[in-house]
Every structure is written in C-alpha cells, then in structure tokens.
Structure 1
C-alpha cells in the first residue's frame, strides 16, 4: 500500500510497515523492523511515494495491544491512501471470532476496528482491499470531506459486527464504486452525520445500507442529507434500511434511496422504529423521520414482505415519498408490504400493490 503526500502520512506508513512486521514476528517469520524510507520513500510533499506497495497484516488476537482500533489517521488534513492492484489490509479477524470474542455484543466490546479516520479533512482512500477485519473495516468519525472509492471490502457473512464502512459525526463523506460484502452493514451511517453520499456500491453478503441505529438509551440523534443511489444488493438480509431505537429523540431527514436493485434480499426496504435492546425498557417517543424518498427500486425479495414501514404512533414518520417500485418474489410468488403509521404518498408504478401510506394531510 502506498501513501502520497505529506510527512505525517509517510511517517504513518512507516508505522504501518512496523505493525506488519510485528505481526509476522509474532508468528516467528521475521526478526526485524523495516522502514519505508529505506525503499525509496521520501515524505517530502513532492516525491511520489506510492511505489511502496504490499500487504499490511494485523497482529493475531493473542498479540493485540488492547486498543479498540488497529490503524488510525488522526487530525490529518490533505491525505490520499492508495493500494493500486496489490494493496491489502488483512485484519486476520478469524483469530478474534474463534478465540477472543463470541457473537455480536462480545465482539463490539473486545474486537478492534481495522482502520479509523478521526478528526481529519480532505482525505481520500482508494483502490485497496480490506479483508477480515476483527470488527468494523473502516470507520470515519468527526471528519469532513472524506472520499472512499474503488475499495473491495470482504469478510464472512457470519462474522460479527464487521461493517464495511461506518460513518459517524461526519459531513461531506462519499463512498463510491466499491464492492462490499461482510457480516454486518455494507455501509452504516449514524448520528450527527450529514451530506453523505453512497453511490455505485455492490453490497452482499451483509445487512445492507443502514441509516442508524439512532437514539439508543434515549439519546438525541441528528442525521440529514443522505443520498444512497446506484446500489445493487445481492443476497443481503436487508437492503435500504433506517432503524431507530425506541425512546430516542431528535431527527433523521432528507434521506433518499434512488436507482436501487435487489437480488434475493430478505428485507429489501425497511423502516424500523422499534429497534430495542431486550434488556432496555423504552420510554415513549421516537426519532422523527421526515422527507424520506424511495425512487426507482426494483428486483426480488426472498420473503413475502418486500417493503416494511414500521413506525411509532406519535407521527414520527412523515413525508415518505415512494415513486416507481417493482419488487417481486424471488420464488415467483407475490410480494406484500406492511405500512404501520407511515405518512406519505406513492406515485408511478408501485409493486407490491398493497403499499399504502397514510396521507400526510
């Protein structure tokens, strides 16, 4: 993997190379540390350092340092990370899933995220692969103007909490032209995020593209201006999904899903305002959802219910617009929809024909 540009970036690459060697050393493969400057890297802001390519391998779970992340860019402005045809982050997640953590909740607590971009601006991650992260593959937090493109992110479909890209507290984030198949959301967008675009993604296996979970433990959420388009979901458990916790506060608004294709998806279109921890007794209220648009959705559903809008009774789902939807059953049968307390309108050809929203007026 190569890194172009500033001194901070090249020093970080040296650290990455060091981490990779430590992992190999733990396995008894080498006994040295390599510095990328010894192989032609300069980090002077002028020299193209991208010829330093290869695989960065995480330490196994037993040799982990105890941090909740493996690699991090922190407070970096103006950075491009590219891997060309050979760049690979290998998280060796199986050493965690089999030995160190069992199931979703345990892995959330123990397993690290592979790559974190935190408090950064003007960052581009492109043309590299990430596989088998112990937990989330790439997390973007408290950052702006971040572009992730031409990535290939993979993990087994039953691997816990291995989101492809997780976005939180960030704005002007673009995820494009990538293939993502993991054990959790291909892309997840959480609170205090705005102006996020997901464009040209092939997703599967995984849990789809999710806005949420929002409002956990009564928290106040804010998400707005989310544009998901040109996404193909293949054999995923969910497709276009919005999920909020019972008892949450705040809002999620101006969200669109456009030009979406589903192939054998369990639950293609979902709004779930009853996401709840079984150990938590929720109070009344919900994160308010408004101005949600679905346009040109097509494909097949594995189950009979292709569209499921499950909203609270407090008028928390309003201005839902559905235009041109054709989702049939993968087995050739008919599909149906469920619309509970969802207010909005439909236009154009809409199938399943049972899709009926309460009029906003």
Structure 2
C-alpha cells in the first residue's frame, strides 16, 4: 500500500485506525508512507519540533504501522537523536528506503547511525541542518544521496557500509565554504561503483586531488560530474578520471541558467576558475573508458572542444562520445521570457554545424580515435 497523509486536524485519527485494522487483518504487509508538509524550508525550529512530536504521536497511537514500513518519506522534522534512531532502525524492521527532507536532530548536530540489523538500502537527505551524518554501520545500504548541506565541512563519515554502491552529492556551495578532501570523505566506502558530484553552477567544494582517490575509486564504473559553470575549464575533471582507470562511463554536465544571473549580480558573486592543475595523463593506457557524455556542450566555448579532444586522444577503448542538449527545461528560466544569448551559445542542431564540430574534434589528433560522435538534441540524433 502507498499512502500520503498530512497530520492536521483529525485527519490522522480517521486514517490511522483504517491502516491499523488493515494491517491486523493481514491486508497490508508492506507500506510506503509519506507524511507530507505544506511548509517550505523556512519552517522554524519550533515548528519542526512540534511536527516531530506529531509524527511520534501518530506512530505511538498505531504501533503496528512501523514494522510494515518498507519506504518512508518525512519533511520538516527535528527529532531528538535517540528518538529518530529508535523509530527508524529499531522499530522499522522492513524499512528499505528512507527519504528525509529538511529533517535533523538540531542545528549543527551530528547524527550517528549504527544499525547492524537494518535492511535499509536507500537513504536520501535533502536540505538538512545536520553538521554531519556518521554512518557507523548500515550493512545493506546501497545508495546514499545528500542534496544541499549548509555547513562548511564534509557532510559525511563512513564506517561499515560494505554494500554501498552509489553515492550522490549535490550542493551549491557559497564562496566562503572551504573545500574538503573527497578521498577522506570516501574513506571506508571503497565499494562505490557509481559516483555523482553536482556543483549547481557554484564553486567546487572538493580539494584538488588525483592519486589520493585511487583507493576510493578502485571499483568505480560510472563517474558523473554535473553543474559545472559554463565558463569553467573542464580539463580539471580528468584528474578524477586519472584516479579511476576502471571508469567505463564519464558523464559531464555544464551548468548555465540565466535565471541565476540576477542573484549572482545582486550578491556580487564572481566565478572563480578551478585551481586544479592539468593532469599529465600518466595512466591513460589503462583507462577502460567506453562512453563520454557532455550535456550542454557548445563549440563556442573552446574549453569544451579541447576537453573532448583530450579525452578522445587519451582513451584507447573509447567507443562513443555523446554531446547532448539539456532536455529538461528550467521553469525559472522560462518565466523570464526573452532570455539573453547563453554564454556557451546554442547547442549545434544543424547537420552542417555538427559535421564541422566532429571534424574539429578529430583533426590533428595524436592518436586516431575510432569513437562515434553522436549529437543528441531535443529534435534529433545524428551520428558521425
């Protein structure tokens, strides 16, 4: 059963007994529950505490719900650390997917999860005031996603996570946020095969590293680096690729949103190019890279062409280069009406433009690449 409820008025007292009885009668054995909230992220701490008490009261009134939960989504809650750990990991014996949006155990708090008997497979955290999440023991955890942390330090610490295969980190860090070591953050999570880093057009929040990441990247098969501001150099990303010769899919996404320009101007933000040094390509012969994706590619940005050429030149097993137009329209950009011409120009849609770019990418290469070059626009897919 899938259920979404609001804990307002007598609504929970009407729904709760129905769910309780259906569980007691054996009609429901697995429950996907969302306890929704109509407030945004500006919800105050006192309201979050009250909401947490309401949720705790709901579960206390209908205790047979917790053992049936397989998926749980919660919004705008501030629990006491012991309460949330007991509810989620001691009482929810079947819980496999947990999503917490604007939830914490107090401002600047550290939440420690030590649950050796948990079957949790997916943990999603969005916009939390947690200072750090310490995953001391979650043996079945396969995917962890953290979107938008607010404190200026590594948001995660891993202990025993032998099943963790995918990690997603997304944050628009402010200029005063110091960079942290990705290799230290990943220490203890050496089984990851899919990693996504998304900077949302802001500064890079990871320190320049390459060889230091080899242990953490030893099993990596797909590496996605998204939200790179359009005027930033892309060659720095190859440092990460050099540390992960086992990567087969390298996915780059360039970020350009005119809707953000007024904000940047208002707060006086200036883009700072990544300080990473261009790598020396010492291990390129060992690269297993087969597919390269570049979303929002533009031939007018010389760094884009240079980056793709370098990867094509250095990856002997590369089979496919896919240059994509972003298919997801931004509602805020559309609301602006007539948009200024993007810094990167428009994605090349005509076959003549695409043929010219394909030739530029292949001209005067040190090694001859046999990789297909595919242009995927909203209206067509063309292969060279």
The TM-score, its normalising length taken from structure 1, stands at 0.45
Q: Which has the higher helix share?
A: 2
TM-score by length of 2: 0.43
- Tell me which structure has the larger Cα radius of gyration: 2
